[in-house]
A = this chain, B = another copy of it.
Amino acid sequence: MTETQNLVSLFRETREHTETICKPLEIEDYVVQPIVDVSPPKWHLGHTSWFFEEFILKPHKPNYKLFHKDFAFVFNSYYETVGKRVVRNNRGNLTRPSVAKVYDYRHYVTSELKEFLNTGKITSEIEKTLLIGIHHEKQHQELLLTDIKYILGNNPLLPKYNNSFTENPVQDFEQEWITVSEGIYEIGHNDPEAFCYDNELGRHKVYLHDFEISNKLVTNAEYLDFIKAGGYKDHNLWHAEAWDWVNQNNISQPQYWHNIDGEWYQYTLNGLQELDLNAPVTHISYYEAFAFAQWKGCRLPTEFEWEAAQDQFKWGSRWEWTESAYLPYPGYKKAPGAIGEYNGKFMVNQKVLRGGSVATSPKHTRPTYRNFFQTNLRWQFTGLRLAR
């Protein structure tokens, strides 16, 4: 199978998988935006289609006819270069285009793109953009799941998404410390054949000092001990701005935890369940991850430590907060034009998360992958691994 054929089938699979994720939804679930970080599912469906329309079909497919002249306006996200966008916190007020119409749009774009790919006149430049579009959609697949969880999990009726999603993988091994020795380590993406984002590029040397890192993610049981020990009430464990956040938002437990008549429950995509004590804790902010580590007399690993050690432990069920700020690697240059808005513009006041989560799409993550979020955010499947 040629490279292009691979791409075509990856494209096809990806487009289908996005729709599979949305299968369990009611039409109503597609529409709302309860907080600014959570986008309406129909917006994700439209936005991922718009990406292919805007960056491939419109510039490259001969005689391509836009599905609807106003959809670029509705489905653009933060690409300032491309034009005026719907203000991000207004997305949840747009009842039209309807869900049916958005699916029409998706199918139109998918079909037009398949047709275009079949012409065989695809430059490597276009292939590169296509690959970015596919991975962009994979990222939105994860966001779809976490946004759906937020939409359902903050409804007083606590409806379930489905019966089969496994949020809490088994960690049936003892906690141990992995020792890594001082020295120079190479960091960053290293396979010119394989896809990666621009923020992983610039393979470079980093000097690490001796450290130890846990083979196991922190569990709900351990986190519960932190709560019971008064962790949320001891300012010494928190950053100054974290302490303000805790108090202003009355934070006293991870998101989706419920204490009902003295028993602990967690809302999952399968509905409300008893808290699984052996599962890795999740839906915590960086602030909480840091405070927990302080309380344990440990710390969070840097993203470099994590990358240097990652082949010695299991990862992939939680996005792991690191102590590293999200910054450019040496020699980082953002791509020109709208595609270049993808990563670089967020490289301030965010933290790097490494690994992947139960919601991450297949083949989407890798040892050099750099995820990033603001320090107060909790709606992703975030967790933590200790270092010292």
Cβ–Cβ contact B209 & A207, under 8 A = no
Interface segment out of the listed A29-37, A171-179, A360-368 = A29-37
Q: Which residues of B contact A340 (CB under 8 A)?
A: 236
Q: Which residues of B contact A349 (CB under 8 A)?
A: 241, 349, 375
Max chain B Cβ within 10 angstroms of own Cβ: one of A73, A90, A290, A345: A345
Q: Which residues of B contact A26 (CB under 8 A)?
A: 95-96, 98
Cβ–Cβ contact A73 & B156, under 8 A = yes
Cβ–Cβ contact A96 & B327, under 8 A = no
Indicate whether A154 reaches chain B with its CB closer than 8 angstroms: yes
Q: Report the separation of the CA atoms of residues A175 and B93 in the bound assembly, to the nearest whole angstrom.
A: 41
Indicate whether A194 reaches chain B with its CB closer than 8 angstroms: no
Extra 6 A-B pairs, beta carbons < 8 Å, given A26-B95, A34-B93, A96-B152? A27-B27, A28-B30, A78-B240, A209-B330, A243-B345, A349-B349
Q: Which residues of B contact A242 (CB under 8 A)?
A: 348
Indicate whether A151 reaches chain B with its CB closer than 8 angstroms: yes
Indicate whether A117 reaches chain B with its CB closer than 8 angstroms: no
Chain B minimum-CB-distance residue to A234: B80
A residues in contact (CB < 8 Å) with B: 26-34, 42, 70, 73-74, 78, 80-81, 86, 90, 92-99, 151-152, 154-157, 159, 184, 204-207, 209, 235-236, 238-243, 286-287, 290, 299, 323-325, 327-328, 330-331, 340-341, 345-349, 375
Max chain B Cβ within 10 angstroms of own Cβ: one of A33, A86, A90, A209: A209
Cβ–Cβ contact B95 & A243, under 8 A = no
Q: Which residues of B contact A239 (CB under 8 A)?
A: 345-348
- Copies of chain A in the complex: 4
Cβ–Cβ contact B209 & A94, under 8 A = no
Q: Report the separation of the CA atoms of residues A303 and B324 in the bound assembly, to the nearest whole angstrom.
A: 15
Q: Report the separation of the CA atoms of residues A331 and B30 in the bound assembly, to the nearest whole angstrom.
A: 48
- Other-chain residue from B32, B74, B241, B325 in contact with A31 (beta carbon distance below 8 A): B32
Max chain B Cβ within 10 angstroms of own Cβ: one of A73, A152, A207, A238: A207
- With both chains docked as a complex, state the minimum distance between the C-beta of A265 and any C-beta of chain B, in angstroms: 17
Cβ–Cβ contact A95 & B205, under 8 A = no
Q: Report the separation of the CA atoms of residues A70 and B93 in the bound assembly, to the nearest whole angstrom.
A: 25
Q: Which residues of B contact A241 (CB under 8 A)?
A: 348-349
**Contact A205/B204 with A94-B155, A349-B241 known, Cβ cut-off 8 Å:** no
Chain B minimum-CB-distance residue to A206: B207
Chain B minimum-CB-distance residue to A26: B98
Q: Report the separation of the CA atoms of residues A1 and B244 in the bound assembly, to the nearest whole angstrom.
A: 47
Chain B minimum-CB-distance residue to A97: B157
Cβ–Cβ contact B154 & A99, under 8 A = no
**Contact A345/B28 with A151-B95, A154-B93 known, Cβ cut-off 8 Å:** no
Q: Report the separation of the CA atoms of residues A347 and B286 in the bound assembly, to the nearest whole angstrom.
A: 12
Q: Report the separation of the CA atoms of residues A238 and B98 in the bound assembly, to the nearest whole angstrom.
A: 35
Cβ–Cβ contact B34 & A31, under 8 A = no
Chain B minimum-CB-distance residue to A68: B157
Q: Which residues of B contact A92 (CB under 8 A)?
A: 32, 92-93
Q: Which residues of B contact A327 (CB under 8 A)?
A: 323-325
For the complex of A and B, the 5 pairs showing the least CB-CB separation, nearest first, are A325-B325, A34-B93, A28-B95, A207-B207, A80-B235
Q: Report the separation of the CA atoms of residues A29 and B31 in the bound assembly, to the nearest whole angstrom.
A: 9
- Other-chain residue from B28, B90, B328 in contact with A96 (beta carbon distance below 8 A): B28
